[in-house]
Amino acid sequence: MKAAVLGAGSWGTTFAQVLADADTAVTIWARRAEIAESINGLHMNPRYLPGITLPSALAATTDVAAALDGADLVVLSVTAQTLRACLTEWTPLIPPDALLVSLMKGIELGSCKRMSEVIMETAGVPDSRVAVVSGPNLAREIAERQMAASVVACTDEHSARMLQRACHSGYFRPYWNTDVIGCELGGTVKNIIALAVGIAVALGLGDNTKATLITRGLAEMARLGEAMGADPRTFAGLAGMGDLVATCSSPLSRNRRFGEYLGQGLSTAQALEMITQTAESATSYAPVLELARKFGAEMPITEVVAAVITGRLSVADAAAALAARSAKPEWYGSE
Ligand SMILES: NC(=O)C1=CN([C@@H]2O[C@H](COP(=O)(O)OP(=O)(O)OC[C@H]3O[C@@H](n4cnc5c(N)ncnc54)[C@H](O)[C@@H]3O)[C@@H](O)[C@H]2O)C=CC1
Ligand SMILES: O=C(CO)COP(=O)(O)O
């Protein structure tokens, strides 16, 4: 089994380590020469994972054709909004039977497509050749080889199991399922809820508020997911509740930190500048709301996050906007 990981950011580098530690031969493609040189020479990626020593078996290159040569697994770890352009360039170099794996947790602006849909459309491959990895997987903790679990999903069980074997290491336990839609929506919506939690943290609100946002965020995620055809059980699992709890609880989360900066009074542009890494919620809130409208799913927390990001609602008024909504039974559908 040979893997190419395309994208040497925090999660791409960490997942490449997981693959190498699971005895899968892996080459990582980095956009910047200094990152590839540092991975090859020092076994480090100080830009994204300072202080972490990567496996010596992990090879890096800036030559995407070399990384893709003979790859059985092509792991895509750029950002949601750059995937289509990158993959358009890479598609002619991808081996014909390779499984394409998305690590990304976002929705494409404009098309409102999930990452697996962008991959199928751009690379011209069937769903049986596209898998996703999603779960409570804060890169830094996994890079430190702290025990974690995740979900690898593909509509084709055989492909899901193959990916599972390729990334099952001593500290990383992947489960498989066939619910690609549920896993992708879980990963995307939890980033938006984590942003809301970040705002709450910055405002000094306590655990009741956080638990409320997490629980109602889960309801929101499941409502959209079920309307789009996901398996409801996914949202009770690692790619749903698991990732939501990890991201909303962790100061390591870039999406939560983004919310904290907004809560401290920074503008959206200033907050993004502070993060210096990808915070997918900053863009994915818009296509998620479009999907919510299209599929008739009510997503009040996402609406409030969108209003704050676009400057239509102040952070000071955000909690009140949620609390003042009309009273409802706890369980209701998307009507
Ligand atoms: N960091 C984490 O803990 C986790 C991140 N993810 C998801 O993984 C995806 C990647 O995130 P990270 O690696 O954390 O982000 P990052 O900000 O650490 O790295 C982004 C990577 O994308 C590359 N990139 C950006 N624009 C590009 C372009 N136009 N062409 C080529 N490469 C480009 C950058 O060079 C960098 O390697 C995101 O969708 C994120 O939500 C998922 C699970 C965990
Ligand atoms: O997806 C993640 C954890 O599972 C990482 O979250 P952030 O992108 O918010 O850092």
Residue-level pLDDT at 106 = 98
Residue-level pLDDT at 333 = 61
Q: Which residues of 45-67 are buried (b: 16+ CB within 10 A; e: fewer)?
A: bebbbeebebeeebbbbbebeeb
Ligand found nearest the CA of 5 = 1
255-311 pLDDT, tens digit per residue, is 999 999 999 999 999 999 999 999 999 999 999 999 999 999 999 999 999 999 999
**Active-site annotation, residues:** 190
CA-CA distance, 300 to 285, in Å (whole number)?
12
Q: What CATH superfamily is the domain 181-323? A: N-(1-d-carboxylethyl)-l-norvaline Dehydrogenase; domain 2 (1.10.1040.10)
CA-CA distance, 85 to 95, in Å (whole number)?
19
Residue-level pLDDT at 334 = 46
pTM: 0.98
Cβ of 174 closer than 6 Å to ligand 2, yes or no, is no
Residue that the structure tokens 């889960």 belong to = 218
Cβ of 188 closer than 6 Å to ligand 2, yes or no, is no
Distance between the two ends of the chain, CA-based, in angstroms?
Answer: 47
The closest of 296, 286, 279, 161 to 224, measured between CA atoms, is 296
E-strand ranges in 62-109 read 73-76, 99-102
Q: Which CATH number fits domain 2-178: 3.40.50.720, 3.20.20.80, 1.10.3720.10, 3.20.20.140?
A: 3.40.50.720
Distance 74 CA to ligand 1 centre (A): 15
Q: Report, as ranges of residue numbers, the positions in the chain whose pLDDT lies below 50.
A: 334-335
Ligand found nearest the CA of 240 = 2
Mutate to test the pocket of ligand 1, among 6, 10, 61, 150 (most ligand atoms within 8 A of CB): 10
